[in-house]
Every structure is written in structure tokens, then in C-alpha cells.
Amino acid sequence: MLREKGASKLSHLLKRGQVMQELAILLLQLSPGDELPSIAQLSARFEVGRGTVQAALDLLRAEAGLATDARGSSASRLIACDPAALWRAADRRGLMLLLPFPYSRRVMGLATALAELLRESPVDHSLAYMRGARSRIEALCAGRADLAVVSDLAAAEGRAGGAECEELCVLGPESYAAGQGWLVRQDFRPWPRRVRIGTDPTSTDQSRLPRHLLPQGLTAEFVDVPYLRMQGAVASGEVDAVVWPQDVLPGHPGLCLLPIERDLPAGADRAVLLLRAGDRAARALLGQALLPDRIRTIQEDVLSGRREPSE
């Protein structure tokens, strides 16, 4: 009998904890003044007794500063809460965001915008740089990050390949990439009929852009080269050319950029902020903090030199 009572108490505590997590996620999506579902509605929604819902709400009042206008069992309105405590109650820790390496001022502008806007968030956060959109999407879906920045092109490829991720928002044209050129040695002209092109297999963009932008009539051998080695690979003659942003000056002497006249493939220029599919807590918290218009304004300020990029 004692064992049965103990098991029943444990089951009740587990249910209360699960309901508290779900309530925390729900509350993260609300603002002061918004209406909360009634105890009866929450009880039906979570398939638990009203006492379990009330106990979970009492815990959030004690641990997350939850305050509502008291209306008994009927619907009430949210007065206040502590978003950081709600995030912890949803069984989450600090936010982790993954970005591409800050190789261009455009990407630096994105990183600066995300860092500045998240400083206004009550939740601790970290920004990390990871090579290759495919690697960032994989880390996101594996739960090693809460948000990943990739191109719209890479996001579409990831979802088509079964990656369980969804958009928080899509930024505007040229928020991820703009004009591209062929990085070559200065003695490279004219184009030979057979060329060796460096591509980074971890990157959707660096894999697909060279194939899309290759001049017609040429035969290419595509050579795997990590992005950070691309300039050196061209300078040493390991490859003849790589696709390179026009707003990033070559760091090796003897290299130059040839302009590319063709348009980028659809979605390659737009940045997308990706979440894990179904991550309602991150959507609620980040959706309030990372507003697309504010991100673009800060990014444009960095691009124009009106603002220095964050360290």
C-alpha cells in the first residue's frame, strides 16, 4: 500500500512538472494584459485535474513572479511574469545561436544585430560561429543550439532533406549575401576550357553557387576546400578559382576578383533565422526579441559604417 501511495505521489509530481513546463511555454507567448485560459480550459487542454493545473500555477507564482488578476475559475489576465524564470521553468537554459563565420561586413552586421537585440532579453545567451550551413542545421536539429542563421537557399535544402526545422523569420534581399566574384590569381585570364573550382561541402551556398555561376561552355573539376582555406588554395594553385564575396578584399597578394554577371540562385541572398520544429518556447522568446526590421536596420548601419560591428 505504501509503495502504491509513493508511486501515485511520484506520478502526480511528474504531471505537475509537465503542466508547469507547458504553462511556462504558454506564458512566454503572452504580454501583460493578455487573457489566460480558465482553469477548466487548461485542465481539458493538458488532460489533468484542475488541482494539478492550480498547483502548477502556484509554483509559477512562487518561482517566476507570475501575477494575474484573480477571477476564480474563469479566465484571467496576465499582469506580470519573469520571462527568464519562465524560460527555466520550461526546462531550458541559456540560448545558443549559431552564425556563419564573420567573413564579411554583411555577416558581421547580422551578428551585431542579434547580439544587441538579445542583450535586451532577460535570458543568458551565447553566439557561436560554425562553418557550413549544413553543419549549423544539423547542430540545431540535434539540440545543440536554439537558433541557426543560414541562407534561404540552405534552409530550403535542409527541409527538403528532412531536417526538422522551421523559420522564425526571413530577412530581406541581400541580408545574407550580395554581389559575388571569382577569386583567381592575377595571371589567370582568360578562362581555360577546363578549370578546378574550390567548393566547401559543408556549405550549401559554397557547394551550389559555383555550379550555378560557372561560365557556360567550361568544364569544371570541383575540389573540396574548407572555406577558411580557399584564398590559400587559389594562391598556391591547388584550385583555379572560388566564388568570393565582392565586398571582401582578398587577403593574399597576387589575387583578384573577376565580376560575375549572372544572378544568384533564388534564396541565396536572403538570411533565415531557423528554429527546431515545434520549439514553441524559443519561438515565443526570440520572436519578441528578434524583430526583422530592427535586425536589418542595425545590419545596414554596420554595412554603411555608421556603426562598428560587435566584437
Q: What is the pLDDT of residues 184-233, one digit of tens each?
A: 999 887 788 889 999 999 999 999 999 999 888 888 999 999 998 999 99
In the block, which residue shows the cell 573550382?
A: 197
Q: Which domain holds residue 52?
A: 2-89
Residue-level pLDDT at 4: 39
* CATH code of the domain in which 295 resides: 3.40.190.10
Tell whether 55 and 40 lie within a shared domain. yes
Tell whether 50 and 114 lie within a shared domain. no
Residue 310 belongs to a domain: no
Tell whether 6 and 82 lie within a shared domain. yes
Does residue 240 carry a pLDDT above 90?
A: yes
- ω before 190 within 30° of 0 (cis)? yes
Tell whether 123 and 84 lie within a shared domain. no
- CB of 166 closer than 8 Å to CB of 274: yes
Please state, in angstroms and rounded to a whole number, the distance separating the CA atoms of residues 30 and 41. 17
Tell whether 54 and 163 lie within a shared domain. no
pLDDT digits (tens, 9 = 90+) for 245-260: 888 878 888 999 998 8
pLDDT digits (tens, 9 = 90+) for 114-173: 999 998 877 888 999 999 999 999 999 999 999 999 999 999 999 999 999 999 999 999
- CB of 207 closer than 8 Å to CB of 147: no
- pTM for this model (two decimals): 0.79
How wide is the angle at C-alpha 215 spanned by C-alphas 210 and 218, nearest 5°?
A: 100
Cα within 13 Å of Cα(104), Cβ side = 22
State the average pLDDT over residues 301-307: 94
Strands 147-151, 95-99: pairing kind:
parallel
- How many domains would you assign to the chain? 3
Residue 311 belongs to a domain: no
Does residue 71 carry a pLDDT above 70?
A: no
- CB of 23 closer than 8 Å to CB of 52: no
Domain boundary pick from 65, 89, 113: 89
Tell whether 165 and 24 lie within a shared domain. no
Confidence of residue 10 (pLDDT cuts 50, 70, 90): very low
